[in-house]
Amino acid sequence: MPCTNCASTARLNSADDRGATLTTPPSRYPLRNADPEEGARLGTLQSLHDASTIRQFERLGIAPGWRCAELGAGAGSVARWMADAVGESGSVTAIDRDTTLLQDLAARPNVTVVEGDLMTMSFESSCFDLVHSRSVLMHVEDPDTVVEHLVPALAPGAVVLFEEADGAPAQRAASDGELPAPFREVLVPLAAQWTWARTLADRLVALGFTDVHDDVREDLLTGATPAAAFWSQTLATIRPIVTDATRMESVGRRAVDDSSYDAMIGLLEDPGFSAPFAARHRVSARRP
C-alpha cells in the first residue's frame, strides 16, 4: 500500500502523499523540463534507453503491488511503465524538480507526482520496494547523500537500480590523442564531470546492500545515430551557457568557442564520425 501521513513543504500533485518530504531550493542543473525543446530531448533519451531499463526491471522481478520511486522522472515514460506493471495494488512516486511533463501521470490513482530537489528530500521508513534513477544522480551535487537518505525508505528486501554514466572512455581517448579537436573541446569537458557512477557499487556494499551487480557497457558515440541526435539536442540547449565566458568562469571552467561548437555538431551529423564517449553503469542491489 502507498506510504501516507507525510507532511510536505513542496508541491505534491496527488490527493495523497506517498512518502516524500522536501523543500525546493534552486538547482545547479541548467536544463528545465518546462523549456519548449526539453520534451523532445527527453523523448529521444527515452527511446534510447527505455527498452534496456525495462529488461532490468523484469530481471529484478517487479510485480503487482510493488511500491516504486522514480528519481528524476523527466518526461515520465519509466514511471508510466512502472504504474502499469504494479497495477492498482501498487504505487509509483514520480519525483522531479520540474514536473511540467508529468501532469498526465498525476491523474492516475496509483501515481503521485512530487516536485522537489532530491538533495533536500527525506522519506518515510520502508516506503518503497523499488527505487530507480537514470542519468539523474550523476548530475546531483552530492549523490552519496541522496543514496544514504534513501536507505531507510527501502523495505526489507527492496531493490534499487541506478543507471548512470561515467565519462572515463572519452577521457582515456582524449589522453591518447585519438579524438578530433571539436570533441576534445566540447564533449570531453562534459564527460570529465561524470565520475560518480564508477564508485557506486562499492558505496552500496559499504551501506550494507547485498546482491550488488554493476553491469557496465561502454558505448561509442557515432554520427547520424539516435544517440548523436540526442547530443545534438543537448548541445543546442546548453550552448548559451557553455559559450558564455562570464558564466563559465563563475564555475571555474573555460568557455567553448562557437567555431568548435559548430564543428562538433557537424561531427554528430557525420555517419563517418565515431569516438569513445561514456560507460553506462547499471547498478542494482538489494536491501537485506
Q: What CATH number is attached to the domain comprising 145? A: 3.40.50.150
What distance in Å separates the CA atoms of residue 90 and residue 230, rounded to the nearest whole number? 33
- 252 located within any domain: no
- 5 located within any domain: no
The confidence band for 245, taking pLDDT boundaries of 50, 70 and 90, is confident
pLDDT tens, residue by residue, 252-271: 788 889 999 999 999 999 99
- pLDDT at 21 (0 to 100): 41
- 180 located within any domain: no
Lowest mean pLDDT among 11-20, 172-181, 240-249: 11-20
Q: Of 85, 65, 84, nearest to 128 (Cα)?
A: 65
What distance in Å separates the CA atoms of residue 258 and residue 229, rounded to the nearest whole number? 19
- 8 located within any domain: no
- How many separate domains does the chain show? 1
CB 102 within 8 A of CB 124: no
Report the helix count and the strand count for the chain, using DSSP H and E.
Answer: 9, 9
Q: For residue 48, give the amino acid letter.
A: L
Phi first, then psi, for residue 246 (nearest 5°) are -65, -45
Q: Which residues, listed in sequence order, are joined to residue 222 by a DSSP beta bridge?
A: 274
- pLDDT at 24 (0 to 100): 35
- pLDDT at 268 (0 to 100): 98
Residue range 217-225: average pLDDT? 96
What distance in Å separates the CA atoms of residue 206 and residue 215, rounded to the nearest whole number? 18
pLDDT tens, residue by residue, 177-199: 878 999 999 999 999 999 999 99
What distance in Å separates the CA atoms of residue 223 and residue 220, rounded to the nearest whole number? 10
Residue range 151-167: average pLDDT? 97
- 91 located within any domain: yes
- 148 located within any domain: yes
- pLDDT at 199 (0 to 100): 96
pLDDT tens, residue by residue, 9-57: 333 444 344 455 433 333 445 566 656 678 888 989 999 999 999 999 9
